[in-house]
Amino acid sequence: TKDDKWDMVYKNEQLGVYRSWTGIGLFNLKFENQDGRLYIIEAYCDEQFLNDHSPEYCSALLNWVIEFVVFGRRVDLPRWNY
């Protein structure tokens, strides 16, 4: 839910995205610096989470985390029916 808390750790051009209440890392993003801009070049989803949910839902949730949590944009949390 939107009340869930997220922790993020950025180190060595990688961003780890964790559920703060469990400490479980759901996503890991690898970035590449091109002309002073960071681009996502790889995105990983936790294997157990991916086994429990479709790739489409995992992608939608990652997009929501980036839009809502990182950038503070008002976007709807994706539905679980993927």
pLDDT tens per residue, range 42-72: 999 999 999 999 999 999 999 999 898 888 8
Q: State how far the Cα of 74 lies from the Cα of 10, in Å rounded to an integer.
A: 23
Q: State how far the Cα of 26 lies from the Cα of 1, in Å rounded to an integer.
A: 15
Residue 81 — pLDDT band, cuts 50, 70, 90?
low
pLDDT, one tens digit per residue, over 5-30 is 889 999 999 999 998 888 899 999 99
Q: State how far the Cα of 35 lies from the Cα of 57, in Å rounded to an integer.
A: 32
Q: Residue 80 pLDDT more than 90?
A: no
